[in-house]
A and B are shown apart, each in its own frame.
Chain A
Amino acid sequence: MTPGSGDEAILDISGLRVTFTGGPRPVRAVDGVDLKLWRGEVVALLGESGSGKSVTLRSILRLHPEKKTRIEGGIRVQDVDVLRLKGRALADFRGKRVSMIFQEPMLAMDPVYTVGRQITESIIKHENVSPDEARRRALTLFEQVRIPSPARRLDAYPHEMSGGMRQRAMIALALACNPQVLLADEPTTALDATVQVQILLLLRELQHQLGLSMIFVTHDISVGVEVADRIAVMYAGRIVEIGSVRDVIRSPRHPYTIGLMSTRPHGGRLLGNRLPAIPGSPPDLANLPPGCAFAPRCPHAGEVCGVSAPAPVEVSAGHWVRCVRTDLTAKA
C-alpha cells in the first residue's frame, strides 16, 4: 500500500497476519498488513487499543511468545528475512539492525543494574569492544539525548531517575548499537505534557541527525502529526488508511479517520455544544464481522460493506484507503 519509489524499502511488511492461539478461541490481532518503510522515513501507526498497532510493531522484533502465536506473511529488513531468524542470528538482529523503545522505561529496563551498565552491556554484546570504549560510547549517547551531568547519571539506577530522564536513557539504550530502524511503542504516552514535547522533539532531532527510519506507534493523532512523514491508521487489525501526514490530516477519506478527527475537542468551543461521536465500540477481534470491520459503526455503510473486506483504493498519489465508498467521503 505504498507508492513506488526508486529507493529500496528498508523494512517491508507484506500480508502480515498475527494470530494468538493461547486462549479458548484464536484471536487474529493483525489481519493482512502491508507496509513499506523507506530509508530515513518516519511512519506513525495510529490506532485505538486492540487495533493491532503494537502487535504489528512487536512482530518486527519477534517479541511474541513463539508457542502461542502464529505469524504469517513476510517481514524483511533489507536482506534479512525476519520470520526465518533463529537463535543467535535473532539475538544479533535485535538491537543491532532494529531496536525498540517502549512506553514504560521502568518496566523495560532492569532495576538491579545501573543504566550505564545496561548500555555498555548491549554495546559489548553486539560489538567486540573493550569495556572502556563501551563506557565512552555510553557517555556520548547520554550527551546526545541531553541528560544533564551525564557521567554521574550513567551510574544511576532506573528508579533514581525521573520519568522524562528514564525515557531519555532508554532512547540512548536503543541507539547504543547504531540500529537502522527504530521502533517506538507509545514512547511519550506515560509522560506529562511538558515532558512529552521535549521527548518528541528529541526523537525528531535524533532521527534527522542519524538518518533513522522509524515506525512510531501512537493512539494520539497530534503526536503522529508532530513526528511522522506518513500516517497509517489501523482498525481491527488492518491498515484502513495510509498517506502523507498532510493528506491524512487535511483530507481523510476513510470514515473511521474522519470520525477520529472530528471527535477531538479542539480549540475554543462554546459550552453546551456536543462532540460528534463515533457510535458503538471497537469490535471483538475473536468475532469480527465479515467484510469491513468498521461497517457496524459507519455512517456510510451499505449492503456491499458487509460482503468482503474492501481492497485498498488509491484516492490520490500515495494516499490509500480501504473503503468501497470513498466517493461519499470526498470533500465537496
Chain B
Amino acid sequence: MTSPLLEVRGLVKQFPVRKNLFGRATTFVSAVDGIDFDLFEGETLGVVGESGCGKSTTARLLMHLIEPTAGTIRFGGRTVGTAELPVKEFRRQVQMVFQDSYASLNPRLTVEESIAFGPTVHGVSQREANARALSLLERVGLDPRRFAGRFTHELSGGQRQRVNIARALALQPRILVLDEAVSALDKSVEAQVLNLLADLKEAFGLTYLFISHDLEVVRFMSTRVLVMYLGRVAELGPTEALYTGSRHPYTTALLGSLLSMDPDHRTAAPPITGDPPNPIDPPPGCRFHTRCAYAEGVCSARMPALLAGAADAAPHWVACHMHAPRSGHSKLKAGAAPETA
C-alpha cells in the first residue's frame, strides 16, 4: 500500500472524573489509551466496539474537537496542530457526520444556509457557497427547489442526515468521519443513506472513517475494520479476513453475538458473559482478560502489543498474547507475528 493519508500514533485522551478540594483532577478515565492506526487514501476504515470503548472519542480527537492528552496525528505527512498544518486548515480536509441529525444542525438556519455556512467561514464568497449548497443538495438526493428554504424541523430523520452529509462535503474534504451516522435511522431509510454514502465516496474520491456498533453495516461498508476494547485497539485487519478469521478472542465473541436470523438455529449460549468493565478502573495487562476464556497469568501481567502476522498478505494486526511469539502463553497460535512487526 502507499503512504497513509492519516497516521495516528500513541493517541491518548484522559478525562477528569473526580476533583480534589482545590479543583485539581485526581482521578482520570482514559477513554482512549494509546492507539495507533493508519488511514489510507480511498479506503473505508470501519471502527467497531461496545459503548465506552472509545470509538467516538477517537473520532472527536481526529477532528480536534477535543485536545488529545498525548499522541500525534499526521495528515499527508504533516503534523496536525503545528505550524506545518494548523488545525483550521486540517479541519477543511476532514469533516464529520454525527449520529444525532437534529442536534447537529442549527435550527435557526435554513438547509441552504446550513450547508453554505462552512465554506463562507473558510473564505469562499457567499454567492459561490450558496451555489455549492444547491448543487450538493441535488447530489444527496434532495431537490434544491423544495428543500433549500426549509428549516431542520421540517425534515424527516433521513432527510436531515442527507443535509448533514451535504454540509460535511461543502468544504470539499478528503476524509469524512461518520460517527454512528446511520444508527438513529429506521432500517428502511438506513439502506438509502448507506447507498448514498457509497456513491458519494466514488464520485468525490473520499476516504471514510466509519464508526458503528452495527457489525453487519460495518462489514458492508468497510475495506478494513478496527476493533476497539476499553480504549485500546484489539484487532485491525482487512474486512473479510477479520470477519471470517478473527484473531482476538474479543472480536470472536463480538461476531458470535450476531443473531442468526434462522429460527431453526437460534443462539444456544452467549459467547461471553458479563458486562464490559468500568473504564475508570480498567483491568491491568490485557484489558479483555477478565472476560476471556483463554486468559492466563501473562494476560493480567503484561499488556499485549499490536502485532501483524508474519505471513499476512495484507497486514492483520492483533493485540493478544496468543499471537505474540515468546509471550509465554500456552495456546500460542501458529504463524504468529515476528517480534519486530
Q: Does B223 make an interface contact (CB < 8 A)?
A: yes
- Residue pair B223, A271 in contact (C-beta under 8 Å): yes
B100 to chain A, nearest CB (A): 14
Specify which of A164, A221, A271 is in contact with B261 (CB 8 Å cutoff): A221
- Binary interface encoding of chain A residues 177-188 relative to chain B, with 1 for a CB under 8 A from any of its CBs, else 0: 000000000000
Distance A200 CA – B274 CA, assembled complex (angstroms): 14
From the candidates A49, A195, A249, name the one contacting B186 in the complex (CB within 8 A). Answer: A49
Contacting residues, chain A, for B275 (C-beta < 8 A): 162-165, 192, 195
Task: Check: A84 CB closer than 8 A to any chain B CB.
Answer: no
Q: Mark A142-155, 1 if CB is under 8 A from B, else 0.
A: 00000000000000
Q: Scan residues 173-201 of chain B and give those whose CB is less than 8 A from a CB of chain A.
A: 186-192, 194-195, 198
Given the interface pairs A162-B275, A278-B188, the reply to whether A225 lies near B257 with Cβ below 8 Å is: no
> Are B188's CB and A260's CB within 8 A?
yes
Kindly name the residue among B158, B220, B269, B278 whose own CB sees the greatest number of chain A CB atoms within 10 A.
B220
Residue A89 CB within 8 A of the other chain: no
Q: How large is the interface on B (under 10, 10 to 19, 20 to 34, 35 or more residues)?
A: 35 or more
Taking a contact as CB atoms under 8 Å apart, the answer to whether A263 and B188 are in contact is yes
Given contacts A192-B50, A277-B192, contact A201 B269 (CB under 8 A): yes
Whole-angstrom distance from the CB of B245 to the nearest CB of chain A?
Answer: 12
- CB-based contact A193/B263 at 8 Å: no
Q: Which residues of B contact A277 (CB under 8 A)?
A: 188, 191-192, 195
**How many residues does chain A have at the interface if contact means C-beta atoms less than 8 Å apart?**
43
A225 B259 Cβ-Cβ under 8 A: yes
Which of the residues A164, A194, A196, A281 comes within 8 Å of B158, measured between beta carbons?
Answer: A281
Q: Identify the stretch in B68-76, B211-219, B301-309 within 8 Å (CB) of chain A at 4 or more residues.
A: B211-219
B253 at the interface (CB under 8 A from A): yes
Q: In the complex, are the beta carbons of A48 and B187 less than 8 A apart?
A: yes
User: Complex Cα distance A200/B219, Å?
Assistant: 24
B82 CB-CB contact with A under 8 Å: no
Point out which of B262, B269, B272 has the most chain A C-beta atoms below 10 A from its C-beta: B262
Query: Is A274 touching B272 in the complex (CB atoms < 8 A)?
Result: no
Whether B195 and A275, one on each chain, are in contact in the complex, defined by CB atoms closer than 8 angstroms, is yes
Cα–Cα distance between A246 and B50 once the two chains are bound (Å): 31
Give chain B interface residues in 267-303, CB to chain A under 8 Å.
267, 269-276, 278
Contacts of A265 in B (CB 8 A): 191, 194, 216-217, 219-220
A201 touches B270 (CB 8 A): yes
Among the listed B213, B223, B261, which residue makes an inter-chain contact with A222, where contact means beta carbons less than 8 Å apart? B261
Q: For residue B328, give the distance in angstroms from its CB to the closest CB of chain A.
A: 28
Interchain CB contact under 8 A, B50 and A194: yes
Contact with A along B25-65 (1 / 0, CB 8 A): 00000000000000000000000001100000000000000
Query: Does A331 reach chain B (CB closer than 8 Å)?
Result: no
Contact check, B272 vs A225: say whether CB atoms are below 8 A apart.
no
Partner of B188, one of A48, A163, A196: A48
Determine if B243 is an interface residue (Cβ-Cβ < 8 Å): yes
CB distance from B209 to the nearest CB of A (A): 16
Q: Which residue of B lies closest to A269 (CB)?
A: B220
Query: A226 and B267 in contact (CB under 8 A), knowing A277-B195, A279-B192?
Result: yes
- What 1/0 mask marks residues of chain A from 198 to 219 whose CB sits below 8 Å from any chain B CB? 1011000000000000000001
Most chain B CB atoms below 10 A, which of A193, A197, A219: A193
26 inter-chain pairs at a CB distance below 8 angstroms, sorted by A residue, are A48-B186, A162-B276, A164-B275, A193-B258, A194-B257, A194-B270, A195-B50, A195-B275, A200-B259, A201-B267, A219-B187, A222-B258, A225-B266, A226-B259, A226-B266, A249-B261, A260-B187, A263-B190, A264-B261, A268-B243, A268-B244, A269-B220, A274-B198, A276-B191, A277-B195, A278-B192
B interface residues (Cβ-Cβ under 8 A, vs A): 50-51, 156-159, 186-192, 194-195, 198, 213, 215-217, 219-220, 223, 239-240, 243-244, 253-254, 257-264, 266-267, 269-276, 278
Tell me the A residues contacting B by CB distance below 8 Å.
Answer: 48-49, 162-165, 192-198, 200-201, 219, 221-223, 225-226, 245-246, 249, 259-260, 263-266, 268-269, 271-272, 274-279, 281-282, 297
